[in-house]
Structures are given as C-alpha cells and as structure tokens.
C-alpha cells in the first residue's frame, strides 16, 4: 500500500507545484498592470510608502 501512496503523493505535490509555477508565472505576467507607485500628477514624488 505504502509503495502506491508515495508515487501518488509525489505526483500530486511535484506535478502540482510544477503546474502552479508555470501558471503563476504566466498569470502574473498577463494580469492587468498595477497602479504605478509613482504618479506623474503628484507634486512631491514619494520615495516610498510604509503602508
């Protein structure tokens, strides 16, 4: 029984992670661009924000 479970779990984990990696990378590249942290309409350009 144990000899069957290990390959199944490893397929789920390894294969799942490989698919998730590919999907994550592709999705993050094709999703709508974020609002740029800088905005050209701000009189004082922020170096950053803590929140």
Shortest reach from residue 23's CB to another protein, in Å: 8
Residues numbered 1-51 forming contacts with another protein, rule: CB under 8 A: 2-3, 6-7, 9-11, 13-18, 20-21, 24-25, 27-29, 33-34, 36-51
Termini Cα distance of the chain: 51
- Buried/exposed 14-42: b ≥16 CB within 10 Å, e otherwise: eeeeeeeeeeeeeeeeeeeeeeeeeeeee
Enumerate binding residues for another protein (CB under 8 A): 2-3, 6-7, 9-11, 13-18, 20-21, 24-25, 27-29, 33-34, 36-51
């Amino acid at each position: 029984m144990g000899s069957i479970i290990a390959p199944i779990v490893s397929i789920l984990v390894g294969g799942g992670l490989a698919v998730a990696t590919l999907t994550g990378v592709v999705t993050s590249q094709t999703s709508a661009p974020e609002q740029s942290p800088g905005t050209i309409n701000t009189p004082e350009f922020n170096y950053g924000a803590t929140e």
